Amino acid sequence: MITVQQAEKLILENTRDYGNEIVLFDEALGRVLAEEIRADRDLPPFNRVTMDGIAVKYEGIAQNIKTFKIKATQAAGDEPVHVNANDECIEIMTGAALPESVDTVIRYEDIKIDDGKAIVLTDIVQGQNLHLKGSDKQKGEIILTPGRRINPAVISLIASVGETELRVKRIPRVVILSSGDELVDVSDTPSPYQIRRSNSYMLQAMLAQYGIKGAIRHIPDDEAIIKQQMGLCLQHYDVILISGGISMGKFDYIPQALRDLQVEQVFHKVQQRPGKPFWFGKHHNAVVFAFPGNPVASFMCMQRYFVPWLNASLRVQPKEPVYAVLADDVKFQPALEYYLQVKLHYSVEGQLLATPVVGNGSGDFANLAETEAFIELPSDKNEFKKGKAYKIWSFNSNP
């Protein structure tokens, strides 16, 4: 068996670039940007009012003027209305462009309006309640760089500069294969000795979070059919994700089928729990991630190995690792890297804490739904003390 670190290194040595493509900006959620985006004008493009109220010349405030005649009302999107005297003001709304003849906005909460006049009730600071032109970004300035995963905030920024089409990284074509005669479809009623195929849909849902529509296929425990179906997948997909059929069982035919199809085994078995039987290989057309069939093992290996491989292949800007402090003591005897399921929360001091969740092993997918991360406990120890920080791999939260 190889170590987790060796497995990670070998996987990242086999990243692939699938090129770029153009997509509509409002269909780009979850994709990875492959071009620079620049501001087409200053952001904001004018001195923008940030509070409903009145706009005045601060020179009048400095002259101790407290009562201002309301000259007009200006809504957001209206052409600016100008004042001529220090004791005049404009009623102005949030989002409106500040007229050049005024320089300060006073909130409605800080004035009293009576008979067409606004009376100032509190002290005023020159330039208050304004978002100044170009203070966010200047025209022509780079606002987004390649490698950014496109989230709702990025969509908003792209829309604000008028980009209707985007160059993004092309995503790999992925197929998810499950195997085993004990598995039946979700809509079927299993016999007392069968279970429904849930792993495939779990992996498909994980892919969807990254903008990938994974195809799903199921193959029976038949050597000839496994080899034939695997051969077809190698021709039509860039990535094959396999759940089950890779251990030492009598009907685990997949490793041999992959060898027969000239898929090079990079490694088989990793010093970790869960997921020790994890198999990884490469073909001139595709890479193959073959995960153990136990749900927690498949989920952990997907999170720990496939997602970093995908991000590296798509040239996603790397993030700093996240660490959390164990909230309880943990003991783990085998000399394996241990991925312990934990719940996350912050202490009153702002420290991220990881509370272990006791389950029933790598088949306990019901327990998995109650957790938020795996905490990575190194193989060179068997006792892990409360208060010690370790790296986490979060999946149901975003610390």
Mean pLDDT of 37-50: 97
**What secondary structure, in 3-state letters, does 178-243 show?**
EECCCEECCCCCCCCCCEECCHHHHHHHHHHCCCCCCEEEEECCCHHHHHHHHHHHHHHCCEEEEE
State whether 198 and 225 are in the same domain: yes
State whether 298 and 262 are in the same domain: yes
State whether 28 and 69 are in the same domain: no
Mean pLDDT of 12-35: 96
* pLDDT tens digits along 63-87: 999 999 999 999 999 999 999 999 9
Q: Supply the range of the domain harboring residue 362.
A: 322-394
The CATH number covering residue 150 comes to: 3.90.105.10
Report the number of distinct structural domains present in the chain: 4
The CATH number covering residue 273 comes to: 3.40.980.10
Mean pLDDT of 381-395: 94
What DSSP string describes 69-124?
EEEEEE-TTSPP----STTEEEEE-TTPBPPTT--EEEEGGGEEEETTEEEE-S--
Cis previous bond, 44, omega within 30:
yes
User: Is 380 inside any structural domain?
Assistant: yes
User: Is 271 inside any structural domain?
Assistant: yes
Mean pLDDT of 201-226: 91
User: Is 281 inside any structural domain?
Assistant: yes
Decide which of 313, 330, 350 is a domain's last residue.
313
State whether 14 and 76 are in the same domain: no
Structure tokens at 23: 């997509």
User: Is 220 inside any structural domain?
Assistant: yes
User: Is 26 inside any structural domain?
Assistant: yes
pLDDT: which is higher, 66 or 252: 66
State whether 190 and 221 are in the same domain: yes
Tell me how far apart the alpha carbons of residues 43 and 80 are, in angstroms, rounded to a whole number. 18
* pLDDT tens digits along 333-348: 888 999 999 999 999 9
* pLDDT tens digits along 176-199: 998 876 676 777 777 877 667 778
Q: What is this structure's pTM?
A: 0.86
State whether 292 and 198 are in the same domain: yes
Quote the pLDDT of residue 326. Answer: 97
User: Is 254 inside any structural domain?
Assistant: yes
User: Is 399 inside any structural domain?
Assistant: no
Question: Which range has highest mean pLDDT (133-142, 191-200, 388-397)?
Answer: 133-142
State whether 31 and 152 are in the same domain: yes
Structure tokens at 375: 């905490």
State whether 338 and 237 are in the same domain: no
Quote the pLDDT of residue 105. Answer: 98
The CATH number covering residue 75 comes to: 2.170.190.11
Asked whether the predicted pLDDT for residue 245 surpasses 90, the reply is: no
State whether 25 and 165 are in the same domain: yes
State whether 274 and 157 are in the same domain: no
Structure tokens at 398: 């975003």
State whether 225 and 304 are in the same domain: yes
The CATH number covering residue 346 comes to: 2.40.340.10
User: Is 272 inside any structural domain?
Assistant: yes
Tell me how far apart the alpha carbons of residues 330 and 321 are, in angstroms, rounded to a whole number. 22
Quote the pLDDT of residue 127. Answer: 97
Asked whether the predicted pLDDT for residue 399 surpasses 50, the reply is: no
Decide which of 286, 313, 340 is a domain's last residue.
313
State whether 176 and 300 are in the same domain: yes
